[in-house]
Structure 1
Amino acid sequence: MDLVRHLRLFVAVAEHRHFGRAAASLSMAQPPLSQGVQRLERHLGQRLFDRDARRVALTAPGSALLPAARQLLADADALVESSRRWSERRCVRLGLAADLDTLAGPVLAHLVGTGIDVEPVLTGSTELVGRLRDGDLDVVLVRHPVALDGLLTGDVITVSAAVVPDHDDLPLVLPPRSHHPAAHDQVVDALLRLGRLAPVHEIASAQERSVRVEAGLASGLRPTQEQDVQDGSADMVPLRYRAAVPVISEQRPDLDHAAVVSALYEALR
């Protein structure tokens, strides 16, 4: 016997005090409901209702059973809801500025370590903002400055980037200016202030930039967390980042956007 199902039939009749109305509330025909109640009575060995042509009334055993039945059904419904949450992975569609480079892995590892399941996208900031506005992403971490009007934003956080290898005669490889025009221009200006006059080569592929740097064909910017910076070991360029999320009315109700943003900033500090 499906005890939960039969108790649901019993509670419906007890609440409506009418078999027809109880059946309608359960979107079923009356005969199967009546038969189900009778099976429950036989299973428990108790008459649960007094019935006549004019009314349906709970017996003493029925009155005693009702609160326990309601609690059992509430617990069963809660268990089903919990099981859905177990199977539903609230995956955060997270956009990261591609020039995080070597920090992207540690940032994602920090989020996963705090229990945040992520589906990452690494690309230029301009594209990330567009995808956030279109509803394709939940949270983005982009280079600053970039146009974020109409979105909720976090504080600007600065990450130091080392020029590696530190050779003035090597060209510098950077993501394309189209990824984040204003931020790109700030980086170039910072390099000029450092006296670096070598040409800048714009390369979209992070893998290609890395290969050129590792082969000694170019220098690159390597974002570095504060504890990894050795004073005077290389020229340092500030890279500014900012998190953004949709306005509250457009946020996913099953996702704590603020917690994700907080974890992002923790990972970068």
Structure 2
Amino acid sequence: MDLIRHLRFFVAVAEEGHFGEAAARLEMTQPPVSQGLRRLEKQLGLQLIRRTTRGAELTDAGRELLPRARLLIDDASRFLGEARRLHEHTEVLRWGVASLVGATITATLARRIAGVAPGQDTVSASTVNLIEQVSAGTLDLAVVETPCVTGPLTTEPVVVLRRSVMAPATHPVTTAARPRLRHLAGLRFCHTPRSFNPPAHDQLMDRLRESGLDPRPHPVTSADQLMAAVAAGHAFALTVDGDALTTVDAVRCLPVGRDATALRLRVVYREPGFSEVAEALTAALYRIGRTS
């Protein structure tokens, strides 16, 4: 016996108080509803509904079991809905990319994924958060900044990408014959907060200091915040999208201190089934690195 189906008969009759109206609500004829309810009562060994000349009334047992029947029906509906959602989601690759990696890299990787997956959901978040999501299974894989703590996740090789220094167009460094990182000393350094990935943040700060610049961090969490701070004339930043920013009058992108300012990325994942996609994304990153 299909318990949920027969419980629907019971709940409909109990709530409508009439077999005919219950059948109409269920878009059925009355006999199958009446027969189904009798089958349920026989299975339970209890009378749930008392048939009267006015329609149908709950027995004491029916009144006590009605709330439980409603819960079971609701749970069954939620279960089926969740199963449908999971089935639909199996075709969608859920992936993430570290904050402020840049539109060029994100678009290139999204195009590569489109060639191997019928759908994709993309999130941008801190490296720490992305690793947590991949570990928990809410993301299939992620492109994170390294060094970072990856725990038991599988990691692809590190890819090194060159970054340009993005400075205010009016700053003297933009017209210097031989621009150096130390020329940026009067500007704040726009970068994601240290909490987004402490190991990579600390390594970058050390590299900048070794190059003669003691950076004063200006934490930002979005590309809009970064661009606004640089365009306003009081900060500089690092970007892999230097070529795309040539049309922005308020900023200039310079190839300064490329070894010190390089971006290091790697793909991380948990399930072996995503190894081929991870390898494809790593290959795409290598291609970006060769042309940067």
- Same fold at TM > 0.5: yes
Give the secondary-structure state (helix, strand or coil) at the position aligned to 2:151.
coil
What is the RMSD of the two structures over their aligned residues, measured on CA atoms? 2.6
The number of aligned residues is 172
Q: How do 1:42-191 and structure 2 match up within 5 A?
A: 90-116=91-117, 117-165=119-167, 168=184, 169-191=186-208
Pair 1:186–1:88, CA change in 2 (3 A):
closer
How far apart in 2 are the matches of 1:172 and 1:197?
10
- Mapped pair 1:261 → 2:283: no
Residue 89 of structure 1: how far off its partner (Å): 7.2
How far apart in 1 are the matches of 2:224 and 2:160?
24
How far apart in 2 are the matches of 1:112 and 1:225?
24
Preserved CA contact (<8 Å) 1:146 1:180: yes
- TM-score (ref. length: structure 2): 0.53
How far apart in 1 are the matches of 2:156 and 2:278?
7
Identity, % of aligned pairs? 27
Preserved CA contact (<8 Å) 1:159 1:225: no
Preserved CA contact (<8 Å) 2:100 2:221: no
Structure 2 gap ranges (5+): 1-87, 168-172, 174-182, 244-253, 288-292
- 1:233 aligns to what? 255
- Mapped pair 1:202 → 2:219: yes
Q: Which amino acid aligns with 2:203?
A: Q
Give the secondary-structure state (helix, strand or coil) at the position aligned to 1:100.
coil
Residue 224 of structure 1: how far off its partner (Å): 5.4
How far apart in 2 are the matches of 1:134 and 1:147?
15
- TM-score (ref. length: structure 1): 0.57
- 1:219 aligns to what? 236
Pair 1:224–1:189, CA change in 2 (3 A):
farther
How far apart in 1 are the matches of 2:277 and 2:99?
18
- 1:56 aligns to what? none
Residue 201 of structure 1: how far off its partner (Å): 1.1
- Mapped pair 1:244 → 2:244: no
How far apart in 1 are the matches of 2:263 and 2:255?
18
How far apart in 1 are the matches of 2:124 and 2:114?
20
1:40-82 superposed Cα distances (whole Å, 9 cap, x missing partner): xxxxxxxxxxxxxxxxxxxxxxxxxxxxxxxxxxxxxxxxxxx
Pair 1:106–1:214, CA change in 2 (3 A):
farther
How far apart in 1 are the matches of 2:210 and 2:281?
30
1:60-118 superposed Cα distances (whole Å, 9 cap, x missing partner): xxxxxxxxxxxxxxxxxxxxxxxxxxx87721100111131233433344325524332
Give the secondary-structure state (helix, strand or coil) at the position aligned to 2:156.
strand
Pair 1:145–1:198, CA change in 2 (3 A):
closer
- 2:81 aligns to what? none
How far apart in 1 are the matches of 2:255 and 2:132?
38
- 1:29 aligns to what? none
Residue 159 of structure 1: how far off its partner (Å): 1.3
Structure 1 gap ranges (5+): 1-86, 227-231, 252-256
Residue 225 of structure 1: how far off its partner (Å): 9.1
How far apart in 2 are the matches of 1:196 and 1:267?
32
Preserved CA contact (<8 Å) 1:154 1:242: yes
Residue 163 of structure 1: how far off its partner (Å): 1.6
Q: Which amino acid aligns with 2:158?
A: V
1:111-157 superposed Cα distances (whole Å, 9 cap, x missing partner): 25524332111110001111111110001111111121211111111
Pair 1:105–1:145, CA change in 2 (3 A):
closer
How far apart in 2 are the matches of 1:144 and 1:105?
17
Give the secondary-structure state (helix, strand or coil) at the position aligned to 1:94.
strand
Q: Which amino acid aligns with 1:186?
A: Q
How far apart in 1 are the matches of 2:113 and 2:242?
19
